Amino acid sequence: IEGGWPGANPKDSVFFEEIRKSELYHSKIAAFSSTRRSKSLPKDDPIIQALIASKADVLTVFGKTWDFHVTKALSIPLEENLEIIHSTISYLKEKGFTVFFDGEHFLDGYKANSEYAVKCFLAAEKGGADQLVLCDTNGGTLPHEISDIIKQLKTTLKTPLGIHCHNDGGLAVANSLAAVEAGAVSIQGTINGYGERCGNADLCSIIP
C-alpha cells in the first residue's frame, strides 16, 4: 500500500506516522519519492532523508530513464543521471530497506533510446534494487510493445520486473496483464483506476 510522498505535504507525513500504530496482517506499506537531486549526496538530501524517516517497509524511488528528460528537464549529463540512480538505490539498501526503482517514462525512453534506458535499469540493479518497474507514464504504449520490451529486458537484467501503467489510451489493464504474461512479477495500480489525468491501472479489474 503506497502511502504517498513523505514530506511532500502534511497529510502524507501524518499517514506514515499513523499507519505505524496499525497492526497489518497481509499488507506492507510503501513510501514514494524521487532519486536524490543533482549536486547533493543522499545523506544530505532532504527528499531521501524524509523517505527514510517514513519507516515504510518498501521505498519506491522513481528516476529519469528517458535521455530526453535527462538532458532537457534535468539539464545534466547522461552519465550523471546514472550515478544519481545508483547512489540513491545503494544508499537506501545500505539502510536496510526493500527498494523498488520506478523508471519514469521508461517505455517511451526505451523506444527512443533503448541502450540508455537499459543503462538506467542496470545502474539501479547494480545499486541493489529489489525490483525494476517499467512505467508507461504517458499511457501511450500498446500491449504488444510491452510484451516485446519485457522479453528483451529479461535477457539482460537479473532483477525482477514490475509494471506501472497509466490509462491515457484506455489500455492500462490490458498493458498490465500483457506485462505479467511476458514475465513481470508485480503490478502497480489504484482502486477503480483513480489517478492523475486519465487514471492508472484499475486493481478492481486486475485482481479478479
Average pLDDT estimate for 185-192:
97
- Per-residue pLDDT of 134-182, as tens digits, reads 999 999 999 999 999 999 999 999 999 999 999 999 999 999 999 999 9
pLDDT at position 13 over 90? no
Give the pLDDT confidence score for residue 144 in this predicted structure. Answer: 97
Give the pLDDT confidence score for residue 186 in this predicted structure. Answer: 97
Distances (CA, A) of 159 to 4, 100, 127, 144, 153: 24, 10, 11, 22, 10
Give the pLDDT confidence score for residue 9 in this predicted structure. Answer: 86
pLDDT at position 101 over 90? yes
Give the pLDDT confidence score for residue 139 in this predicted structure. Answer: 95
- pLDDT tier, 103 (very low <50, low <70, confident <90, very high otherwise): very high
Give the pLDDT confidence score for residue 55 in this predicted structure. Answer: 93
pLDDT at position 1 over 90? yes
